[in-house]
């Protein structure tokens, strides 16, 4: 039970928890959702979707008033079966997708760059990663650019705010310029990433969307029961699960899910911070600041509004060339008619 202050007094009719009197004389009445007769099990199952299911720490802490202990995974639904897949390259580089990069600069942590294809419906497919430790910035920039495929046309780069700190070791008259300046001069202009903590909820929705789509595709093999059990919501209907599936989904290429230092494995292994003081009413609601480069770049990619599908520039360039050739041909024909 969540730890509440004050002294317990009487329990009012129809309420689960007793009123509590605080030292300042005010009375506090905890309200449990089950006190409302309209909030039955089916209601709770549906509402828990917004928290990540009835087994999620968010639901337990906010709705069940439980003291949530730390150490548990942030995204327990993650599994290779649902989130690691091979999408053909010609598919995720088609005009229905757009490529973006997401960067996290490391000091004590390694530098991490993730490449993702963003679909028209906002699905994200992480297909490449780059981790580097103790590597000079110019080399990191070169290796990042060299990792691009020749047939790729990156729309932009979202980056952690730390890139806008100043480099005290700058050389060549560039002392104290920002790291973002260095990347921009090298042809990698950066966009400030949205680091808001709601990004963790955005990833929860995306990871569950991937599971829901798998479940809907495996209904004949009990797929719907898998996600019901996963979310602790046994009354979810196929329509409820379809609404979960309609959210932007997140997948990883196998190359981004191999080894402990990979985007997928770091997301899978991310834990809530340790609860050191049992007198607190609740455990910390934030993940550990440990081996979180992968979760950070995935979060920046999925939470930053600038990251969205747009028509690949290579197709626009091709169309422009065709237009210029057509214009030249028309002008040549007109000049010829004058002669």
242-269 exposure pattern, b = at least 16 Cβ within 10 A, e = fewer = eebbebbbbbbbebbbeeeebbbbbbbb
**Every domain range in the chain assigned CATH 3.30.420.280:** 80-316
Structure tokens at 63: 């709705």
User: Do residues 158 and 103 make contact, with C-beta atoms less than 8 angstroms apart?
Assistant: yes
pLDDT tens digit sequence for 97-110? 999 999 998 766 78
Which is more confident, 74 or 275?
74
Dihedral over alpha carbons 4, 7, 8, 9 (to 10 degrees):
-140
Pairing outcome for strands 97-104 and 154-159: parallel
| Helix, strand or coil, per DSSP, at residue 7 | strand
Separate counts of helices (H) and strands (E) for the chain:
12, 9
Give bridge partners of residue 101 from the DSSP assignment.
Answer: 115, 157
| From the candidate CATH numbers 3.40.50.1970, 1.20.1050.10, 3.30.420.280, 3.90.1300.10, the one assigned to the domain spanning 80-316 | 3.30.420.280
Q: What integer pLDDT is reported at residue 129 of this predicted model?
A: 97
pLDDT tens digit sequence for 289-329? 777 899 999 999 999 999 999 876 654 444 555 656 666 66
pLDDT tens digit sequence for 171-204? 445 667 899 999 999 999 999 999 999 999 999 9
Average pLDDT, the chain: 84
- Whole-structure pTM value: 0.74
Q: How many CB atoms are closer than 10 A to CB 166?
A: 13
Answer whether residue 333 shows pLDDT above 80. Answer: no
């Amino acid at each position: 039970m969540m730890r509440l202050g004050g002294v317990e007094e009487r329990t009012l009719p129809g309420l689960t928890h007793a009123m509590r009197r605080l030292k300042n004389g005010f009375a506090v009445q905890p309200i449990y959702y089950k006190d409302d007769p309209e909030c039955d099990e089916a209601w709770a199952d549906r509402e828990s979707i917004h928290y990540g299911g009835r087994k999620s720490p968010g639901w337990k802490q906010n709705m069940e008033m439980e003291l949530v202990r730390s150490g548990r995974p942030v995204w327990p639904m993650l599994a290779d079966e649902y989130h690691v897949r091979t999408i053909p390259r010609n598919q995720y580089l088609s005009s229905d997708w757009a490529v973006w990069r997401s960067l996290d600069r490391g000091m004590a942590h390694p530098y991490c760059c993730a490449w993702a294809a963003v679909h028209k419906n906002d699905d994200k497919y992480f297909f490449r990663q780059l981790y580097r430790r103790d590597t000079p910035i110019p080399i990191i920039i070169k290796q990042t650019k060299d990792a691009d495929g020749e047939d790729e046309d990156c729309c932009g780069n979202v980056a952690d705010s730390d890139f806008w700190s100043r480099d005290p070791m700058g050389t060549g008259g560039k002392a104290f310029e920002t790291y973002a300046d260095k990347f921009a001069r090298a042809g990698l202009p950066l966009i400030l990433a949205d680091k808001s903590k709601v990004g963790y909820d955005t990833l929860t929705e995306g990871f569950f969307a991937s599971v829901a789509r798998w479940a809907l595709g495996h209904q004949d093999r009990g797929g719907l029961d898998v996600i019901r059990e996963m979310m602790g919501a046994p009354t979810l209907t196929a329509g409820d699960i379809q609404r979960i599936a309609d959210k932007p989904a997140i997948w990883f290429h196998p190359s981004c899910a191999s080894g402990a230092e990979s985007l997928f494995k770091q997301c899978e292994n991310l834990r809530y911070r340790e609860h050191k003081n049992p007198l607190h009413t609740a455990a910390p609601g934030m993940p550990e600041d440990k081996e979180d480069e992968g979760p950070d770049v995935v979060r920046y990619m999925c939470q930053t509004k600038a990251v969205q599908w747009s028509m690949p520039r290579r197709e626009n360039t091709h169309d422009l060339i065709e237009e210029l050739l057509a214009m030249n041909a028309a002008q040549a024909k007109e000049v010829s008619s004058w002669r």
